[in-house]
Amino acid sequence: NRSGGYAVYIQKLDVNGNKLFQSNGILVSNNPQSSSLVDYDLTVDAGNNAIVVFTDTRNGSSINPFAYKISPAGAMLWGANGITLTDSSNIYQANPKVVATSDGNYVFAWIYATTPRKIAMQKLNSGGAPQWGLSPVKLYGSGSENLDWPALIKSDSGSVIMLWSGYTGTFISPQNYRLYTQKFSPSNTKLWT
């Protein structure tokens, strides 16, 4: 918040911890934020590009997720404003996660805070084009079950494995808390029961 509002910066360090970008880092985004950055994630692909995902309020009062691909030299490969991951700007969408897949793509997952909460997912190719349609794919719980806190890891043949939680009740007073995991194919087919 060095300029009076939250902004996202990135820094590259060598093996000895020396800064390789400018001393204060490279500005990724100074688009409007709420009172905080509601989580973010970073991964590195096989080409040593950094894939950064975070939320902001550039499209209105609700936070939405955006992804950026930054080269080892600091170039913004998906443009100055990155890629929007959702088509629903009026829904609160927090805690985005990213994983680089073994076949050169990127899968993102985040909280889609409707009632009940869902997990939204999107896959981008190396050029930043959505691979699962223009709208994110949504994962639903059973009945009134809320889904929360996705985490991703890459698996074989371009697939990913996701861990998430499900609960009934409220966020402040959850009941019947459960953990789930599923393996998703490159086409977003569920590979486990």
Per-residue pLDDT at 33? 85
Global pTM reads 0.95
Q: What are phi and psi of 157, to 5 degrees?
A: 55, 35
Q: Answer whether 120's CB lies under 8 Å from 105's CB.
A: no
Residue spans of beta strands (DSSP E) within 71-130: 83-84, 93-100, 106-112, 118-124
DSSP, collapsed to helix, strand or coil, labels residue 66 as strand
Residue among 169, 123, 180 at smallest CA distance from 146: 169
State the sign of the Cα–Cα–Cα–Cα dihedral 128, 134, 137, 143: positive
Judged against a pLDDT cut of 90, whether residue 35 lies above it is answered with no
Per-residue pLDDT at 4? 74
Residue among 109, 124, 97, 111 at smallest CA distance from 166: 111
Sequence-separated (6 or more) residues with CB below 8 Å from residue 158: 101, 102, 103, 105, 185, 186
Q: Answer whether 182's CB lies under 8 Å from 192's CB.
A: yes
- Distance between start and end Cα atoms, the chain: 45
Judged against a pLDDT cut of 90, whether residue 37 lies above it is answered with no
Judged against a pLDDT cut of 90, whether residue 176 lies above it is answered with no
Is-cis flag, bond preceding 96, omega within 30? Answer: no
Residue-wise pLDDT tens digits, 49-106 = 999 999 999 999 899 999 999 999 999 999 999 999 999 999 999 999 999 999 999 9
Residue among 53, 191, 46 at smallest CA distance from 121: 53
